[in-house]
Amino acid sequence: MPEKKTIYWNPFLETMPREKLVEIELKNFRRYLRYAREKCEYYRAKYKNIDPEEIRSIEDIRKLPIIDKEALRLAQEENGFGLFGQMLGVHPNEVTAFRQTSGTTGRPVYVAESYESWQWRVEIWCHILWMAGFRENDNVFVPFGYNVYVAFWEGHYAAEKLGCMVIPGGALDTRGRIDKMLEVKATASLNTPTYGLHMAESALKKGLDPKAIGIKRMVCAGEPLPQATRQRLENIWGAEVYDHIGGTEPCAWGAMCHERKGLHIMEPYFLVEILDMKTLSREVEEGELGVAVVTPLGRHSFPLIRFNTNDIVRKGAAGCLCGRTSLTISEVVGRADDLRKIRGVLFAPVSVEELLRREFPEIGEYEIVVERKGLNDEITLRLESCQGIDSDTMAQICAKIFERLKTKTNLRFNIACVPEGKLARYMLKSKRFKDLRGADQDEF
Amino acid sequence: MNFENVDLKGMGAAVEQIEQLTYKLKELGAGIPAVEKNSRIILSVVNILKLGISDPADLINQ
């Protein structure tokens, strides 16, 4: 009899030799391509001259076209194909749930789920939560109304499948949620990083140390989680904090194990290519940055083949001290559509978050605003102190931040202090970066 | 944990049997919502087991 306790959700897949993983992925890719061509109008037209049986290697896959979010939007606007346009991969009567993307970069994409496809997504999330140490004795608090956004639904159903007790905390304000977490003795939570920090801030204002709430594990979703923010969350909550990467269209495709050093790609459920950012034609080497192009091999209701996620990641090694053999990514840098050229310099907003969370614990909320004044770009960082510190000390901190930002980003920021509580607080995706330059900005 | 002692091939065969039995149940209960809908739910979970158990078992069988 096998031992009952294991760190793996599915030891056969998670510790499988790499060549076997690749073999399964290629087999599943052919099967998925056949399915998409047969059942989905979009692929029927787009791939009519491609024979799935001719796909024998990753190099063969590389010859297939890449699809992006804009293509999905266009395919959904085609007349005569119903709510989900040409992207639907099942009969409309088989659709059991409607989800949509957040619409951050344009018109939201509608995503159809059949019961079968939903179970596939839930299974992926079981892997994520199990890797993060969620077990049947956990009381999992989810401090959101999930609405049409997918991540917390997935986490909710997966935690139930693991046997956890799930407490949906939607119809409450932040103070009410903290009280409820104490009342039900919550041991784990699923939240955005921003809201994790905000709940901690609210608890402290109430005179309650967040550690006393009893959360031991936290899985973050919905936003990038720089290492410094993750560590700040761990320190303030006294909990293990886990990241993952994914999106509404393909599902979550990478997640953190207990080593918490980078993310494991969820093989063989996904075929993930990390391609050079300029041509999207070459797999980058270990340590290089690239764009993740993802094929979710079980999404039948909404087939996606070679979907450009726009996520910029650093390719890591295969394997890990945890024993999993999957490929890894060592860093999530951000989304390609978040990168901006400012005064000719390529700027990633997440670099400011990383600096503030790592080096300046006195700073709470912040906001970055880019404007065009005359012919010049101006970038302003608005900062809120979180500890009620005096104005002289704050001025010294601002001067330090100015210098550190200049070194880190090659940009000279205007630094503006605002009173505590002045900046917006966010529950779901935060909007701390505002580019007000309009359409005439430099192209990335 | 040593997984070499686990009967993966046997598990793969059991998944196959569950699938066949569920199709049979669905056929026998055709027109009865309680049978048809619950059979569909069983098959959704069988699909997950096929990906997670039967696929690796097939590799061993080769």
* Alpha carbons A356 and A229: distance in angstroms, whole number: 9
Question: Which of A51-55, A137-141, B1-5, B22-26 is predicted with the least confidence, judged by mean pLDDT?
Answer: B1-5
Residue range A78-82: average pLDDT?
75
Q: What is the pLDDT of residue A393?
A: 87
Kindly indicate the confidence band of residue A2, based on its pLDDT and cuts at 50, 70 and 90. Answer: very low
Q: What is the pLDDT of residue A147?
A: 87
* Alpha carbons A246 and A352: distance in angstroms, whole number: 22
Q: What angle, 0 to 180 degrees and rounded to 10, lies between the N-to-C axes of helices A151-162 and A115-131? A: 70
Based on the domain organization, do A380 and A296 belong to the same domain?
no
Kindly indicate the confidence band of residue B16, based on its pLDDT and cuts at 50, 70 and 90. Answer: very high
Q: What is the pLDDT of residue B61?
A: 63
Domain count, chain A: 2
Based on the domain organization, do A247 and A368 belong to the same domain?
no
Average pLDDT of the residues of chain A? 90
How far, in Å, are A88, A271, A376, A416, A423 from residue A437 at the CA level? Answer: 37, 37, 10, 19, 21
Residue A153, pLDDT > 60, answer yes
Nearest to B48 among A5, A23, A119 (CB): A119
Average pLDDT of the residues of chain B? 91
Q: Is residue A143 reached through a cis peptide bond, with omega within 30 degrees of 0 on the bond before it?
A: no
Task: Indicate if the alpha-carbon torsion angle A42, A46, A47, A48 is positive or negative.
Answer: positive
B39 neighbourhood in chain A, CB within 8 Å: none
* Alpha carbons A412 and A407: distance in angstroms, whole number: 9
pLDDT in tens, A119-145: 999 999 999 999 999 999 999 999 988
Ranges of H-type helices in A303-427: 350-359, 391-409
CATH number at residue A364: 3.30.300.30
B2 neighbourhood in chain A, CB within 8 Å: 2
Kindly indicate the confidence band of residue A414, based on its pLDDT and cuts at 50, 70 and 90. Answer: very high
A15 CB near a chain B CB, below 8 Å? Answer: yes
Range among A70-74, A80-84, B12-16 rated most confident: B12-16
Domain count, chain B: 1
* Alpha carbons A340 and A74: distance in angstroms, whole number: 25
Question: Which of A108-112, A276-280, A429-433, B5-9 is predicted with the least confidence, judged by mean pLDDT?
Answer: A429-433
Based on the domain organization, do A249 and A320 belong to the same domain?
yes
Amino acid at B12: G
Residue that is last in its domain, among A270, A304, A335: A335
Residue A212, pLDDT > 70, answer yes
Q: Smallest Cα–Cα separation from A88: which of A303, A306, A305?
A: A303
Residue A117, pLDDT > 50, answer yes
Kindly indicate the confidence band of residue A171, based on its pLDDT and cuts at 50, 70 and 90. Answer: confident
Residue that is last in its domain, among A316, A335, A354: A335
Question: Which of A9-18, A237-246, A361-370 is predicted with the least confidence, judged by mean pLDDT?
Answer: A361-370
Based on the domain organization, do A344 and A381 belong to the same domain?
yes
Residue range A411-419: average pLDDT?
89
Based on the domain organization, do A67 and A127 belong to the same domain?
yes
Query: In chain A, pLDDT over 70 holds for what percent of residues?
Result: 96
* Alpha carbons A293 and B62: distance in angstroms, whole number: 31
State which H helix or E strand residue A69 sits in. Answer: helix A69-77
Kindly indicate the confidence band of residue B2, based on its pLDDT and cuts at 50, 70 and 90. Answer: low
* Alpha carbons A134 and A256: distance in angstroms, whole number: 13
Looking at per-residue pLDDT, the higher value among A192 and A3 belongs to: A192
Based on the domain organization, do A177 and A107 belong to the same domain?
yes
Kindly indicate the confidence band of residue B58, based on its pLDDT and cuts at 50, 70 and 90. Answer: confident
A10 CB near a chain B CB, below 8 Å? Answer: yes
Q: What is the pLDDT of residue B31?
A: 97
pLDDT in tens, A18-53: 999 999 999 999 999 999 999 999 999 888 889 999
Residue A3, pLDDT > 70, answer no
Residue B18, pLDDT > 60, answer yes
Query: In chain A, pLDDT over 90 holds for what percent of residues?
Result: 64
Q: Tell whether B51 is covered by a domain.
A: yes
Q: Tell whether B3 is covered by a domain.
A: no
A177 touches A130 (CB < 8 A): no
CATH number at residue A298: 3.40.50.12780
Secondary-structure breakdown of chain A: helix, strand, coil percentages, each rounded to the nearest 5? 35, 25, 40
Inter-chain contact A12–B56, Cβ cutoff 8 Å? yes
* Domain span holding position B26: 8-61
Inter-chain contact B48–A120, Cβ cutoff 8 Å? yes
Relative to beta strand A414-418, strand A376-385 is parallel
Q: What is the pLDDT of residue A246?
A: 94
Half-sphere exposure of A8 (CA within 13 A, CB side): 20
* Domain span holding position A432: 340-440
State which H helix or E strand residue A237 sits in. Answer: helix A227-237
Amino acid at B9: K
* Alpha carbons A440 and A438: distance in angstroms, whole number: 6
B48 CB near a chain A CB, below 8 Å? Answer: yes
ipTM for the predicted complex comes to 0.94
Residue A410, pLDDT > 50, answer yes
Distance, C-alpha A141 to centroid of its chain = 19
Based on the domain organization, do A137 and A123 belong to the same domain?
yes
Kindly indicate the confidence band of residue A443, based on its pLDDT and cuts at 50, 70 and 90. Answer: very low
Residue range B24-51: average pLDDT?
97
Based on the domain organization, do A114 and A51 belong to the same domain?
yes
Q: What is the pLDDT of residue A385?
A: 74
A2 CB near a chain B CB, below 8 Å? Answer: yes
Looking at per-residue pLDDT, the higher value among A348 and A7 belongs to: A7
* Alpha carbons A357 and A362: distance in angstroms, whole number: 9
Based on the domain organization, do A174 and A319 belong to the same domain?
yes
Residue that is last in its domain, among A318, A335, A352: A335
- Residue-wise DSSP of A23-45: HHHHHHHHHHHHHHHHH-HHHHH
Residue range A235-247: average pLDDT?
96
B3 neighbourhood in chain A, CB within 8 Å: 2, 11-12, 15
Based on the domain organization, do A321 and A436 belong to the same domain?
no
Kindly indicate the confidence band of residue A389, based on its pLDDT and cuts at 50, 70 and 90. Answer: confident
Based on the domain organization, do A323 and A346 belong to the same domain?
no
